[in-house]
Structure 1
Amino acid sequence: MNYHFDFGVLLNYAPMLAHGVLITTELTVIGGGLGCVLAVLCAWARTGGPAWLRRPIGAYVEVIRNTPFIIQLFFLFFGLPSTGLKLPAIQAAVLAMVINLGAYGTEIVRAGIEATPRGQFEAGASLGMSGPEVFRHVVLLPALARIWPALSAQIVIVMLGSAVCSQIDVQELTYAAGFIQSRSFRAFEAYFGVTVIYLALALLLRLALRVGGRYLFPGQNLR
């Protein structure tokens, strides 16, 4: 049996694909941004925060890093309603991405903080700065510059992982691919096209993060 490729069918679903790109982008921007903020806060708590906070933050990091993202997503969307808390699909997806990136990002940022020379902490303290002020003004930016490539790579991974959000009816790119193949019976064309789009999004996101890193950390050698 000869299969005749027809990629032109994707043009009939261009609006749906464009909507999928928009939703995937929104998930990445919101989830990635808030996830990085959470990572910085948790990294501070693990390295210089109060002792009572370090253990629960450590437990959160270990739980998230050792469970599948799709299970975390299902827990938020299907599990929480049993407790009376029901989240819309898009909110559950964003929250899952924030929590996931926050855990992985915590360890990445923590590595950058712990690589900071002890003299920088002492220099900040000698100027009369408080612990949080030393962290914010003296430690954080150099630490972020050191780990920016690794953190950027993790953000891209989270963006690609958003594909599973279609399982809770979030209408992102993978949802669009499934819809197209179910209507046109062109599974190869649908998933090949979406694969190319994901590849383009990942490359553009890497480029944007690299350019953003050069703006945030001028003079640093960011790869």
Structure 2
Amino acid sequence: MIALDFGAVLVEWPALLRGAAFTLGLTAISAVLGVGLGVACGWARAHGPAWLRTIVGVYVELIRNTPFIVQLFFIFFGLPSLGVKLTPEIASVIAMVVNLGAYAAEIARAGIEGTPRGQIEAARSLAMSEAQVFLRVVLPPALGRVWPAMTSQIVIVMLGSAVCGQIAAQELSYAANLIQSRNFRAFEAFIVATAIYLALSIVVRQTLHWIGPKWIFGRMPQSR
């Protein structure tokens, strides 16, 4: 009979806490930059000039059709051959931002293209600039329409950060692997890590659901 010893893992709670905090830090930075990149790319695909739509389209298709771990390895192991050396932390952030940006671009584009044409024309008739029309009239309700999908994508990217431990970024999976290498309790270590990832997912999702309408796209009426 297998004897489980979760105490041998939980006694290493400082390492697990640091790993969870590092994962949340990676997610927070990547979410802000990745969603910003996604919105910019979403606008480019919806309203940008042809040459910009082509460039953004290639970027989106390239990232969406290749594994995240390959993108991460290319940034961390491939770029040094071009003279660009990055720390594991910086490489992880760049990889997560680039990955989230590509998926967020399609999500944002769906929201932007769902804005009624009459609403845009009404804003222009008030002598608003194109930037004001986009930032004040188009973007807030667009984000409101797609925020649940955007939230899910941010959570997916957070869970994908587990592979960043492969380049020695000290996130949660790295901590779990380090613990099991010390006490040989791999089953217990990764069960605990799984439970923490589940808790982080719930916390991040609920936090984003609260932050969205309160701070990001406000309480503006949503167009139907």
Q: Give the distance between the partners of 2:211 and 2:219, measured in 1 at CA.
A: 10
Write out per-residue CA displacement over residues 159-192 of structure 1, whole angstroms, 9 at most, x where no aligned residue: 0000000000001110011111111011111000
CA contact (8 A) 1:145 1:220 kept: no
Q: Match for residue 147 of structure 2? A: 148
Q: Match for residue 138 of structure 2? A: 139
Q: Give the distance between the partners of 1:36 and 1:220, measured in 2 at CA.
A: 22
Q: CA deviation at 1:219?
A: 6.7
Q: Match for residue 203 of structure 2? A: 204
Q: Match for residue 190 of structure 1? A: 189
Q: Give the distance between the partners of 1:57 and 1:25, measured in 2 at CA.
A: 28
Q: Give the distance between the partners of 1:33 and 1:213, measured in 2 at CA.
A: 12
Question: For 2:128, what is the secondary structure of its paired residue?
Answer: coil
Matches within 5 A, 1:7-46: 7-46=6-45
TM-score relative to the length of structure 2 = 0.95
Q: Give the distance between the partners of 1:58 and 1:124, measured in 2 at CA.
A: 28
Q: CA deviation at 1:134?
A: 1.1
| 1:41/1:149 CA distance change after superposition, 3 Å | same
| 1:133/1:219 CA distance change after superposition, 3 Å | closer
Report how many aligned residue pairs link the two structures. Answer: 220
Q: Give the distance between the partners of 1:145 and 1:172, measured in 2 at CA.
A: 31
Q: Match for residue 164 of structure 1? A: 163
CA contact (8 A) 2:9 2:185 kept: no
CA contact (8 A) 1:47 1:110 kept: yes
Q: CA deviation at 1:3?
A: 1.2
Matches within 5 A, 1:70-85: 70-85=69-84
Q: Give the distance between the partners of 2:43 and 2:132, measured in 1 at CA.
A: 12
Q: Give the distance between the partners of 1:32 and 1:46, measured in 2 at CA.
A: 20
CA contact (8 A) 2:140 2:220 kept: no
Code of the residue aligned with 1:218 in structure 2: it is R
Write out per-residue CA displacement over residues 85-137 of structure 1, whole angstroms, 9 at most, x where no aligned residue: 11111000000000000000000000001111111111122122222221111
Q: Give the distance between the partners of 1:26 and 1:163, measured in 2 at CA.
A: 13
Q: Match for residue 218 of structure 1? A: 219
Q: What are the ranges of 5 or more consecutive residues in structure 2 without an aligned counterpart?
A: none
Q: What are the ranges of 5 or more consecutive residues in structure 1 without an aligned counterpart?
A: none
Q: Match for residue 101 of structure 2? A: 102
Q: Give the distance between the partners of 1:63 and 1:130, measured in 2 at CA.
A: 33
Q: CA deviation at 1:15?
A: 1.0
Code of the residue aligned with 2:92 in structure 1: it is A
CA contact (8 A) 1:72 1:96 kept: yes
Q: Give the distance between the partners of 1:101 and 1:3, measured in 2 at CA.
A: 41
TM-score relative to the length of structure 1 = 0.95
Q: Give the distance between the partners of 2:130 and 2:58, measured in 1 at CA.
A: 24
Q: Give the distance between the partners of 1:209 and 1:185, measured in 2 at CA.
A: 37
